[in-house]
């Protein structure tokens, strides 16, 4: 367990980072327009292609993933964008599109619900959309949406599929090329278990081709510039070299683990969390439930509804005193849920220790409430 005031992180980002990865940050800086950098960047990109299962260039930017979300919008063809909204971060995609001056229509479902694909298809059939946005994992609710199915629907109606996989890539099954995703974006600080500050994206060939006729793509997030520099194993703007050292080490370790085994490990942590919720409800007589419906639960983050009237702030503070930091609820669910981020380099055994601490704190607070009522 890390010897810090925050204990071990089980929040849905930033995630726990292994000391050997953090140690890479202290290496000396090298010139970023030279052969040594280009060789390192080529190794990094090859590793990222194996993570995302793509033969396309993987863009690496010194930005948060929200920056590449803006890239996805700015370089998309002119026209109306359909945004699938089921929580805070899928709504952010829509807000980014509107902030870039795009016309937006939304398909909105309640927080914690999955999308009805017939409703999505009905929306696509009503008018011409140039693109559909979707959050692979909605971090605010723990709902997983299948981007492959959304891409198939989008393509059926002539639209591009723009996918936010920020809290899924590296932990949930993802095949950019096989699923024909037109634009995929993610960030460094979640299931990839790296420091914050890097974003990654893959643009499909049709997306890149159509971007050529898009006016006002901007400068920093111009996808054509990223394409040009990727061919030279370079970045268009000054890279965050020390973060790239950590990235190279981490993609190497992910490659040695194997991306399929990494998906399996994350799925096992999700299943253990779901089972724990059911067991604690019975064993401790504590009213817990998973927000996301069965069949749409993310392998990287579980959003757990706590008993009515229990303070999530008090609960998290009690858990922190036992050495673990978990996430608070977000947005509409802030007062009624906690979020357990079981992603990155965490193990099933480490998660079980965290869940044990959570159970002790839940039982303690539940007992206090019973005594107060008496």
CA 1 from chain centre, in angstroms, equals: 24
List the one residue out of 364, 180, 171, 127 whose CA is nearest residue 265.
171
What's the confidence (pLDDT) of residue 1? Answer: 41
**Tokens of residue 110, six digits:** 């309640």
Q: Where does 322-347 have alpha helices with state H?
A: none
Greater confidence (153 vs 370) lies with 153
Secondary structure (DSSP) of 12-25: SSSPP--HHHHGGG
pLDDT attached to residue 161:
98
Structure tokens at 174: 């993802």
Rounded Cα gap, residues 208 and 75, in angstroms = 8
| Residue 210 token pair | 């159509």
Question: Hey, is 36 helix, strand or coil?
Answer: helix
The CATH number of 19-257 is which of 3.40.640.10, 3.50.50.60, 1.20.140.10, 3.30.365.10? 3.40.640.10
**pLDDT band at residue 5, thresholds of 50, 70 and 90?**
low
Going by pLDDT thresholds of 50, 70 and 90, the confidence category of residue 7 is confident
Say yes or no to pLDDT of 256 above 80. Answer: yes
For the record, the structure tokens of 82 come out as 């359909």
pLDDT level of residue 374 (50, 70, 90 thresholds): very low
- Sorted by sequence, the CB contacts under 8 Å of residue 57 that are 6+ apart come out as 45, 202, 203, 226, 227, 230, 231
Residue 368: its pLDDT value, please?
A: 84
C-alpha–C-alpha distance, residues 198 and 241, integer Å: 10
Rounded distance between C-alpha atoms, residue 302 and residue 151, angstroms: 25
Say how far apart CA 305 and CA 286 lie, in whole Å.
11
Question: Mean pLDDT of all residues in the chain?
Answer: 96
User: What per-residue string of b and e applies to 172-195 under the rule 16 or more CB within 10 Å gives b?
Assistant: bbbebeebbbbbbbbbbbbbbbbb
- List the structure tokens of 226: 């990223």
Helix axes 117-126, 147-156, angle to 10 degrees: 30
Spatial distance between the Cα atoms of 252 and 3, rounded to a whole number of angstroms: 26
CATH topology of domain 8-15+259-373: 3.90.1150
Spatial separation of the C-alpha atoms in residues 282 and 275, rounded to whole Å: 11
Condensed to tens digits (0 to 9), the pLDDT of residues 171-223 reads 999 999 999 999 999 999 999 999 999 999 999 999 999 999 999 999 999 99
Distance CA 89, CA 12 (A): 13
Region of residue 233 (left: phi > 0; alpha: psi -120 to 50; beta: else): left
12/87 Cα distance (integer angstroms): 15
**106 has pLDDT over 60:** yes
Q: Are the C-beta atoms of 163 and 184 separated by less than 8 Å?
A: yes
What pTM was computed for the model? Answer: 0.96
Picking from 208, 151, 158, 183, the residue whose alpha carbon sits closest to that of residue 65 is 183
- As a whole-number percent, the residues of the chain with pLDDT over 90 amount to 96
Question: What pLDDT score was predicted for residue 346?
Answer: 98
Domain ranges of the chain: 8-15+259-373, 19-257
d(CA 298, CA 302): 7
Please report the DSSP string for 174-195 in residue order.
--TTTTT-SEEEEESSSTT---
Determine the distance from the C-alpha atom of residue 351 to the mean position of all C-alpha atoms in its chain, rounded to a whole number.
19
Rounded Cα distance between 365 and 21, Å, is 37
pLDDT at residue 92, as a whole number: 98
Q: Give me the half-sphere count of Cα atoms (radius 13 Å) on the Cβ side of residue 183.
A: 30
Mean pLDDT of 76-82: 98
């Amino acid at each position: 367990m890390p010897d810090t005031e925050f204990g071990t992180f089980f929040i849905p980002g930033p995630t726990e980072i292994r000391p050997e990865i953090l140690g890479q940050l202290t290496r000396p800086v090298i010139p970023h327009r030279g052969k040594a950098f280009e060789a390192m960047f080529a190794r990094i990109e090859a590793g990222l292609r194996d993570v995302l299962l793509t033969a396309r260039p993987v863009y690496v930017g010194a930005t948060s993933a929200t920056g590449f979300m803006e890239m996805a919008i700015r370089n998309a063809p002119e026209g109306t964008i359909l945004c699938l909204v089921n929580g805070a971060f899928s709504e952010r995609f829509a807000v980014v599109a509107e902030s870039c001056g795009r016309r937006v229509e939304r398909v909105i479902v309640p927080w914690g619900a999955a999308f009805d694909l017939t409703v999505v298809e009905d929306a696509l059939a009503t008018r011409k959309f140039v693109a559909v946005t979707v959050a692979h994992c909605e971090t605010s609710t723990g709902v997983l949406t299948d981007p492959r199915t959304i891409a198939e629907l989008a393509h059926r109606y002539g639209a591009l599929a723009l996918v936010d996989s920020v809290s899924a890539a590296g932990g949930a099954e993802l095949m950019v090329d096989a699923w024909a995703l037109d634009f995929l974006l993610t960030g460094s600080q979640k299931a990839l278990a790296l420091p914050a500050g890097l974003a990654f994206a893959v643009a499909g060939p049709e997306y890149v081709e159509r971007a050529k006729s898009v006016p006002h793509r901007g400068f920093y997030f111009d996808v054509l510039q990223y394409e040009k520099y990727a061919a030279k194993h370079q970045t268009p703007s000054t890279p965050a070299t020390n973060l790239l050292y950590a990235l190279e080490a981490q993609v190497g370790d992910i490659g040695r683990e194997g991306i399929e085994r990494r998906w399996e490990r994350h799925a096992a942590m999700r299943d253990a969390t779901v089972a724990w919720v059911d067991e604690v409800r019975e064993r401790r007589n504590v009213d817990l439930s998973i927000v996301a419906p069965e069949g749409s639960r993310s392998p990287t983050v579980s959003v757990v509804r706590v008993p009515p009237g229990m303070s999530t702030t008090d609960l998290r503070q009690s858990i922190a005193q036992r050495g673990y930091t978990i996430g608070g609820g977000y947005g509409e669910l802030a007062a009624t849920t906690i979020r357990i981020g079981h992603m990155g380099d965490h193990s099933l055994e480490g998660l079980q220790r965290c869940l044990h601490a959570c159970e002790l704190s839940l039982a303690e607070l539940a007992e206090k409430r019973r005594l107060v009522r008496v």
